[in-house]
Amino acid sequence: MCGIFACYNHPNVNQFKPKALKLSKLIRHRGPDWSGNIIQNNSILTHERLAIVGLDSGAQPITSPDKSLSLTVNGEIYNHIHLRTVECPDYQYKSLSDCEPIIPLFQKYDIECPTYLDGMFAFALYDSKNDRIIAARDPIGVITLYMGRSSKNPKSVFFSSELKCLVDDCDDIIAFPPGHVYDSKTDKITRYFKPTWWDQDKIPSTPIDYKKLRQTLELAVRKRLMADVPFGVLLSGGLDSSLIASVAARETAKAAAAVNTDEEIDANEVLAGIDDEGNLRYTGWSKLHSFAVGLPGAPDLIAAKKVAKYIGTVHHEHHFTLEEGLDALSDVIYHLETYDVTTIRASTPMYLLSRKIKAQGVKMVLSGEGSDEIFGGYLYFASAPSPEEFHTECIKRVKNLHLADCLRANKSTMAWGLEARVPFLDKNFLELTLNIDPKEKLINKQRIEKYILRKAFDTTGEPDLKPYLPEEILWRQKEQFSDGVGYGWIDCLKDTSELKVSDEEFNNPKPHWGDDIPTTKEAYWYRCLFDDLFPQKAAADTVMRWVPKAEWGCNEDPSGRYQKTHKDHVKEIEEN
C-alpha cells in the first residue's frame, strides 16, 4: 500500500511542482520506501511507496511502454496473475508489480477497467495523448481516497490518499465514493460496482450454505497472503480476528509445506499471489505472527493469548497505558482526519499497536473489519424489529464502511507504513453473504450474534478436521474493540473530557458547526481537536459520525457494553 497525490489540469503545473512534492511528503508515512513523480502536459502524479509485492521493480508512477499513460496507485490487486496471463497477456510488462496490469486493462476496457480488478485500490491514471485522467476506488472503500476542487482554479481536479494534502488548495472536498470511477472526459463520477445485493430494499431469500460460506472466506484469506515481505494478523481475541488468524495460520502452513526447502526462492522472480486454481504461489513467512494490544488484564488480551496458543502463531502481546493513549489523541486525529467518537476510541490502541508491529519488521497484517456489518454483529442489531429491517441496516452499514471501520483500519495502520488487509470485505464473500436470507442472521435467545458465521466454522460432526478455534472463543459474545482493550480506556476518555470541556463551553457550541452539534463532552473535545488541525470547512464536510440506530431503542453511546444485549449477558454471568 502507498500514498498518492495527483493534480489534473493545473494552470501552471511546473510552478506547482515544488508544492505538490511537499503535499505528497505529508503522506510519506504511508509509503516510506520510495518516492516518485511525473509531469505530463498540465498534470502531475506523485507517489509514496510501501513495497509489499515486486520489491525491486514496482516503483511508481508506472508508465506504459510508449510513456503516454501514467499510473499512481495505492493498493493490492489479488488477481494480477490472472490479469497478466489471461486478460492482457500481450502487454509488455516491465515490473512484477501487482498494480501494473491496470494500464493494459484501461487500454482494453477504458473506464470499465476497475470492474476487472479483485483487490483494494485507489488510483489515478493519466492519458497524455488525450489529456484525460480517470480515478477509481475499490468497491467498499478499503483504501482511502479524496477528491478536491478549487474555486480559484475551477478546471483543476485534485486526488489524494488523505485529506491533509487537499485542504490548502481545495475548498470543495469529498471522500471519493467506493466502487466509482471519475472521468475527466465527462467530468462525472459513475458507479462501476454493481453487485446483486446493492439495492437495500431488495430482501434476499437464499438459504444458508455453511460449507460454501467457510470455503469462500478461506479463499478470501488466501488471496490476501500475497506478499514478498513479513506479515501477520491483528488478533483481538474476538470472533472475527480469531477466525481470520486461524484460517491464515492454516494457509500459511500449507504454503510453506508446498515449497521445496532445498530450492532457494527468489521473491523478485516469482509472481506472488493466487493462480487461477486458487493456490497461493508464494508467501513471505513460513509461520504466522499475531499481534494484540490492550491495557494489562484486558478481556481481549486474555482471549487472544488463548487463540494464539491454539492455532500456533508466534504471538506478540503489547500493552499501552491510559496516559500513552491520551498523549496520542491529537496525532490519532491528525492521521484519521475525523472527529467521530467510535472511530477515535477504537483507532487509538490500533495506532499504538501499529507502531510496535512496524518496529518488529512487519509490513502487512490481516484484520477482521466488515464482519459486523455483513452479519449484523453489533449488539444493537438484537433490537431489529424485523428481518427486513435487519437486512436494510446491514446493507447501509456496509455501504458506509469507507467512512468508519475501513477509514480506521487504513489510516491507523498506514500512519506507520503498515498495510491492513480485510478478508471479510472480499467482493465474492460479500456477494455470497449479503444474499443470505436475513432470518438466518437474527439475534435471539437461541442464536447469538453472527450465529451463521460461527456455525460455518464449527467442526462438530467433522472428526477428520481440527477445530478452527476453541469452543469458548468461537461462541464468545462480541466486545467492541475499544471495550475489549480494557474498559478503563473509554472511562478514561469520558472522565478526561469532563475536565477538558466546561459546562459553559458544552452548552455553547461553535457557530461554524452548524447543525452538527456534539451531544457529549467527549464528542465536543474531539471536534475541537479536529478543528485545531483542520480548520477548513471543507475538511469537516468529509466526516460522518458512527452511532447505533436510535429508532431501535439503542443507547446513544456507541460502546457495545451500553447496549441491552451486553448488559443482559453480564447479568446472566453474574447470576450463574
In the annotated binding site for ATP, the residues are: 234, 293, 367-368
What grid cell was written down for 219?
479463499
Cα–Cα distance for residue pair 557/546, rounded to 1 Å: 10
What grid cell was written down for 249?
495460520
**Coil, strand or helix at 274:** strand
**Coil, strand or helix at 375:** helix
Convert 448-484 to b/e letters by CB count within 10 Å (16 or more is b): bbbbbbbbbbbeeeeeeeeebbbeebbebbbbbbbbb
DSSP string across 188-207: EEEE----TT--TTS---BP
Residue 79: name the closest of 217, 283, 273, 252 by CA: 273
What grid cell was written down for 4?
498518492
**Coil, strand or helix at 554:** coil
> Are residues 131 and 82 in contact, defined by beta-carbon separation less than 8 angstroms?
no
In the set 2, 88, 394, 406, the catalytic residue is: 2
Cα–Cα distance for residue pair 433/431, rounded to 1 Å: 6
> Are residues 556 and 547 in contact, defined by beta-carbon separation less than 8 angstroms?
yes
Can 2 be counted among the known catalytic residues?
A: yes
Residue 457: name the closest of 446, 447, 469 by CA: 469
Cα–Cα distance for residue pair 13/39, rounded to 1 Å: 8
Q: Fill in the amino acid letter for 417.
A: G
Contacts of 551 (CB under 8 A, 6+ apart): none
The annotation places the binding site at 98, 234, 293, 367-368
The annotation places the binding site for L-glutamine at 98
What grid cell was written down for 35?
518516492
If one counts every other C-beta atom within 10 angstroms of the C-beta of residue 434, the result is: 22
Cα→Cα distances 517→295, 507, 512, 544, Å: 31, 10, 10, 13
Q: What's 132's DSSP letter?
A: E
* Residue positions annotated with a catalytic role: 2
